[in-house]
Amino acid sequence: MRRLAIKSLAILALWASQAVAGDAPAVLRVSGQIANGPILLDFSQLRDLPQIGIETSTVVTDGTHRFTGFLMRDLLEHLDAQGDRVMATGLNDYVVDIPASDFMQFDVIIAHSMDGKALDRADKGPLWIIYPRDDHTELQDIRYDYRWVWQLSEIEVK
Ligand SMILES: Nc1nc2c(c(=O)[nH]1)N[C@H]1C(S)=C(S)[C@@H](COP(=O)(O)O)O[C@H]1N2
Ligand SMILES: [Mo]
């Protein structure tokens, strides 16, 4: 009984360390070719990255919106990522492979807010990959629309 309790505690501690990054719940898991991965990041860690705004239309909203988040290339650099692709996964298990060259060529952000309001998990949140669609005609293409992963939960560097 006593041994069992100790074992349960150990499992609980492990679960806690995996589920919680810092003090707050994790919102993004990053795995694959990074310096110290896999890593779980919470909102406060993500907000420590330089915050960027992008004003753009999307294929799933009316009109233009102001998205706030951080540059994908800043996150990858921060984690010392080595790879030429990123596999992005959403909470609904949607998965897409994105060439890392997109992040050098364009200011692609991982947005946490739209028009100053946190993205809702029930809608496209908590995180949504946003391309600066209105600034580049070549981004107004179905090949890029696939890469706007909403409800983003994990990225794997390959
Ligand atoms: N999490 C998640 N992101 C996603 C998708 C999805 O099913 N789940 N669909 C993708 C596709 S195929 C496109 S064209 C765009 C727009 O999808 P929507 O019109 O279904 O919202 O979002 C992309 N991001
Ligand atoms: Mo699509």
CATH of the domain at 136: 3.90.420.10
- Ligand 1: residue of 56, 58, 94 to mutate (most ligand atoms within 8 A of CB) is 94
- What confidence category does residue 29 fall into, taking pLDDT thresholds of 50, 70 and 90? very high
Residue at 145 is within a domain: yes
Residue at 83 is within a domain: yes
Are 17 and 23 in contact by the 8 Å Cβ rule? The answer is: no
Percentage of the chain with pLDDT > 90?
A: 84
Instruction: Count up the domains in the chain and report the number.
Output: 1
Residue at 87 is within a domain: yes
Are 119 and 43 in contact by the 8 Å Cβ rule? The answer is: no
Residue at 1 is within a domain: no
Residue found under tokens 């779980």 = 40
The ligand 1 site (C-beta within 6 Å) comprises 59-60, 90, 92, 94, 145-146, 148-151
Q: Which ligand minimizes its atom distance to the CA of 96?
A: 1
Residue at 143 is within a domain: yes
Say yes or no to pLDDT of 102 above 70. yes
Give per-residue pLDDT as tens, 57-70: 999 999 999 999 99
* CA atoms of 63 and 79, how far apart (whole Å): 34
- Cα 109-122-37 angle, rounded to 5 deg: 50
By CB neighbour count within 10 A (0-12 exposed, 13-18 middle, 19+ buried), where does 45 fall? middle
Structural domain harbouring 101: 25-157
pLDDT averaged over every residue in the chain: 89
Ligand 1, atom 12: closest residue by C-alpha: 146
